[in-house]
Chains A and B, each alone.
Chain A
Amino acid sequence: MNMIDDKKLKTHEEVLEAIAEAIDIPEHLDEIARKRYASIGDWLDRKDSSISQYDPEISPQGSFLLGTVIRPLGDSGNYDVDLVCTLKATKNDFTMAELKDAVGVEIKSYAKTNAMKKEPDDGRRCWTLEYSDSANFHMDILPALPNADSYRVMLESRMHFSVVANEGLWSKAIAITDKTDPNFRVRCEDWPVSNPKGYAVWFTSRQGDAITARKHTVLARESIYASVDEIPEYKIKTPLQRAIQLLKRHRDTTFEGDENKPISIIITTLAAHCYNDEATISEALESILKGMANFIEDRNGEKWVANPVNPEENFADKWKEDQDKEKKFYSWLDAAQRDFGEYLRASRYSDIPDALQESLTKATVATVLPLIAVTAPAIVSSGVAEAAKIASDGGATQPWCK
């Protein structure tokens, strides 16, 4: 066997890893995104900034924070980068409207200074910066204030003591702005809340030892790092993150352009609940796809996918208003079970079924196909070996005839 053959993909796992890598955000775009939001952070925090006294801090949320970003479908798609701009201020310093405007002034001046073609968009909750160069990003910037104490009190009052017991799950909670909130222009304590960093802490905790294990793999492969501590977490992908990326892509192609498609936070939350330290993407997918539905609660006839860091929040709250959303979630789950099961349980690693190719996009799979090794199957010997294993495990049974 020559070196080229050694590098070919010879297992389902290697093929899935290659496909997941192909749908992941390319490293150079990831770097650009990080530089861009760091640049916004620097702008907001510069000496002349009108909000510099509040030490504005820009941080990612959503899939950029969780490491589950995927490329947009099609060549013209945009990456949505969700950011939080937190000011070290209190609800006495601002109304929601004032906070939105204060951040907006600086975002607008940033756009102007950087000669951006479009004015920032003043959305319901966020300011959106649209980059229209080779790296197509939409940066949604959510103005926010620290809100840990109120958040903890809320959790305690509703007896969510398991969340309160882990400081990481609530200490970075934020109060956010929302134009549709009746208190938008009122100076008050009653603001909408969010907790993306707490969610990320929970998500990381669900990955157990997988992060460290992957860092060791990277350390062994790449000589640029001297120790695992030097490897940033966003540079590695665990089986859970890879499985979520594949499932999100499957979802996107199943419901291209359909607003009722299952939302990413539901897929991510259910997947993280099901993940049980599986060492491979294949095993993670099996656990997730077999277990997902079991983590959807039924609370008095209403389906609940609770936010793990705020159990009062139901990520599936829209299902009640629009049953098509619930129906589409379950039909997608059926399709995902069938498509990934068909590949992982019924096909050779080199035979990616058409339905899975379609759902991960043929274009993506086409980039991986040439990397797959062609080997001869060993059907009879694998059957005999399987029978020997069953017998040695004490699971043999004998047929009979009436």
Chain B
Amino acid sequence: MREFRLQRLLRTVRSVIAFVQPRLSASIKNGNVIVEGRFVVTPTLAEHTSDGAIAEFSILVVLASSYPNIEPRVSAPGNNIPQTPAHHMNDDGSCCVVIWEEWLATNEDNSIQAYFDGPLKNYFLGQHIKLATGNWPFGERNHGKEGILDAFAEILDCARNEKKIEYLLRILSKDWPRGHWICPCKSGQIIRKCCVVDLKTLSEKIPSKIAQKMLSRLRSYILK
């Protein structure tokens, strides 16, 4: 079954990079799909398409067969990107492309195509502009837990309070309804008699599986 998923993922990846990423190749290595070569950042504005690539970076992307459940691991060896947090490079050489759970929660399309056209392209376009101008074109998240709290508070549309975010994520992680839990608005009432409508709406926006991932990410920092 895993082998079948892996082969299917490989076909998908190859069809995504065919033509549009002519310098990348995909293969299966050590139970993952590996995409390697030079990633080309291409303009899409008609007035710039004939200018050719905006930039290109040597990359290595490791995709697990269970994508998108497991975040792709991206590294960019052999480029002129400084290996520093300012350039959103982790100590282990991996690239911090995006807060994975944030992207999953805020985008309906989590396909490989969407990942390559979205976060991956944005990250390397950002690197190019950062190198040229010193600024990230789309802004940047704070590092570590602070960035996680900022992002999750935005997604949950709540105060940037660690405990509140964690409690909300616990609620959303369960199969709905959990009406007998204490309402996160601190009214002291149970959810069923308080913010049930708002929480129902939120749970439709953030499926339990994604809420579980967000909770797990947050807890990995709380436990540190």
Residues of chain A having any CB pair with chain B under 8 Å: 10-13, 282, 285-286, 289-290, 293, 337-342, 344-349, 351, 377-380, 382-391, 395-402
Kindly identify which residue among A12, A383, A391 contacts B128, using a CB–CB cutoff of 8 Å.
A383
As a 0/1 sequence over residues 151 to 195 of chain B, the CB contacts with chain A under 8 angstroms (1 = contact) are 100000000000000000000000000000000000000000000
B23 within 8 Å of A by Cβ? yes
Kindly identify which residue among B54, B103, B143 contacts A382, using a CB–CB cutoff of 8 Å.
B54
Interface pairs (20), CB distance under 8 Å: A11-B50, A293-B15, A341-B18, A345-B21, A345-B40, A346-B23, A347-B53, A348-B50, A348-B52, A379-B55, A382-B54, A384-B129, A390-B122, A395-B118, A397-B119, A398-B98, A399-B95, A400-B96, A400-B99, A401-B141
| Residues of A contacting B: mostly | helix
As a 0/1 sequence over residues 10 to 22 of chain B, the CB contacts with chain A under 8 angstroms (1 = contact) are 0000010011111
Kindly identify which residue among A286, A338, A379, A387 contacts B51, using a CB–CB cutoff of 8 Å.
A379
Please measure, in the bound complex, the distance between the C-alpha atom of A349 and the C-alpha atom of B51, giving whole angstroms: 7
Q: Is the CB of A398 within 8 A of B139?
A: yes
Taking the closest CB of chain A, its distance from the CB of B213, in whole angstroms, is 15
Q: Is the CB of B129 within 8 A of A383?
A: yes
Q: Is the CB of B50 within 8 A of A12?
A: yes
Taking the closest CB of chain A, its distance from the CB of B58, in whole angstroms, is 14
Kindly identify which residue among B19, B97, B138 contacts A390, using a CB–CB cutoff of 8 Å.
B138
Q: Is the CB of B97 within 8 A of A399?
A: yes
**Which residues of the other chain, A, contact B43 by a CB distance below 8 angstroms?**
382-383, 385-386
**Which residues of the other chain, B, contact A290 by a CB distance below 8 angstroms?**
15, 18-20
Taking the closest CB of chain B, its distance from the CB of A123, in whole angstroms, is 39
- Among B21, B51, B121, B128, the one with the most A-chain Cβ atoms within 10 Å of its Cβ is B51
Please measure, in the bound complex, the distance between the C-alpha atom of A385 and the C-alpha atom of B125, giving whole angstroms: 11
Q: Is the CB of B19 within 8 A of A349?
A: no
Which B residues, 106 to 153, have Cβ-Cβ distances below 8 Å to chain A?
117-119, 121-123, 125-126, 128-129, 132-133, 136-144, 147-148, 151
Which B residues, 67 to 102, have Cβ-Cβ distances below 8 Å to chain A?
85, 88-90, 95-99
**Which residues of the other chain, B, contact A346 by a CB distance below 8 angstroms?**
22-23, 40, 42, 52-53, 56
Apart from the given pairs A345-B53, A377-B52, A395-B117, 7 other A-B contacts in the complex at a CB distance below 8 Å: A342-B23, A346-B53, A349-B52, A387-B125, A387-B137, A399-B95, A399-B136
Taking the closest CB of chain A, its distance from the CB of B173, in whole angstroms, is 22
- Among A11, A346, A380, A389, the one with the most B-chain Cβ atoms within 10 Å of its Cβ is A346
Q: Is the CB of B20 within 8 A of A400?
A: no
Q: Is the CB of B136 within 8 A of A383?
A: no
Q: With A12-B49, A348-B52, A379-B55 in contact, do A384 and B18 touch (Cβ < 8 Å)?
A: no
Q: Is the CB of B90 within 8 A of A401?
A: yes
Please measure, in the bound complex, the distance between the C-alpha atom of A339 and the C-alpha atom of B125, giving whole angstroms: 24
Q: With A383-B54, A390-B125 in contact, do A399 and B140 touch (Cβ < 8 Å)?
A: yes
As a 0/1 sequence over residues 47 to 66 of chain B, the CB contacts with chain A under 8 angstroms (1 = contact) are 11111111110000000000
Q: Is the CB of B96 within 8 A of A399?
A: yes
Chain B, interface size: which category? 35 or more
Q: Is the CB of B51 within 8 A of A398?
A: no
Kindly identify which residue among A349, A379, A380, A395 contacts B50, using a CB–CB cutoff of 8 Å.
A349
Please measure, in the bound complex, the distance between the C-alpha atom of A337 and the C-alpha atom of B19, giving whole angstroms: 5
Taking the closest CB of chain A, its distance from the CB of B71, in whole angstroms, is 11
Taking the closest CB of chain B, its distance from the CB of A289, in whole angstroms, is 5
**Which residues of the other chain, B, contact A340 by a CB distance below 8 angstroms?**
19
B44 within 8 Å of A by Cβ? yes
Q: With A397-B119, A400-B143, A402-B96 in contact, do A385 and B15 touch (Cβ < 8 Å)?
A: no
B41 within 8 Å of A by Cβ? yes
Taking the closest CB of chain B, its distance from the CB of A334, in whole angstroms, is 8
B45 within 8 Å of A by Cβ? yes
Taking the closest CB of chain A, its distance from the CB of B154, in whole angstroms, is 11
Please measure, in the bound complex, the distance between the C-alpha atom of A119 and the C-alpha atom of B16, giving whole angstroms: 54
Q: Is the CB of B96 within 8 A of A401?
A: yes
Please measure, in the bound complex, the distance between the C-alpha atom of A128 and the C-alpha atom of B88, giving whole angstroms: 68
Taking the closest CB of chain A, its distance from the CB of B208, in whole angstroms, is 23
Q: Is the CB of B85 within 8 A of A377?
A: no
**Which residues of the other chain, B, contact A348 by a CB distance below 8 angstroms?**
50-52
Q: Is the CB of B20 within 8 A of A399?
A: no
Q: Is the CB of A384 within 8 A of B137?
A: yes
Q: Is the CB of B54 within 8 A of A386?
A: yes
**Which residues of the other chain, B, contact A377 by a CB distance below 8 angstroms?**
51-52
Please measure, in the bound complex, the distance between the C-alpha atom of A293 and the C-alpha atom of B12, giving whole angstroms: 12
Please measure, in the bound complex, the distance between the C-alpha atom of A338 and the C-alpha atom of B38, giving whole angstroms: 13
**Which residues of the other chain, A, contact B89 by a CB distance below 8 angstroms?**
401
- Among A285, A340, A396, A402, the one with the most B-chain Cβ atoms within 10 Å of its Cβ is A402
Instruction: Look across to chain B and name the residue whose beta carbon is closest to the beta carbon of A12.
Output: B50
Please measure, in the bound complex, the distance between the C-alpha atom of A382 and the C-alpha atom of B40, giving whole angstroms: 14
Taking the closest CB of chain B, its distance from the CB of A389, in whole angstroms, is 6
**Which residues of the other chain, B, contact A386 by a CB distance below 8 angstroms?**
41, 43-45, 48, 54, 125
Instruction: Look across to chain B and name the residue whose beta carbon is closest to the beta carbon of A348.
Output: B52
**Which residues of the other chain, B, contact A282 by a CB distance below 8 angstroms?**
49
Q: Is the CB of A382 within 8 A of B141?
A: no
**Which residues of the other chain, A, contact B129 by a CB distance below 8 angstroms?**
380, 383-384, 387
Q: Is the CB of A382 within 8 A of B19?
A: no
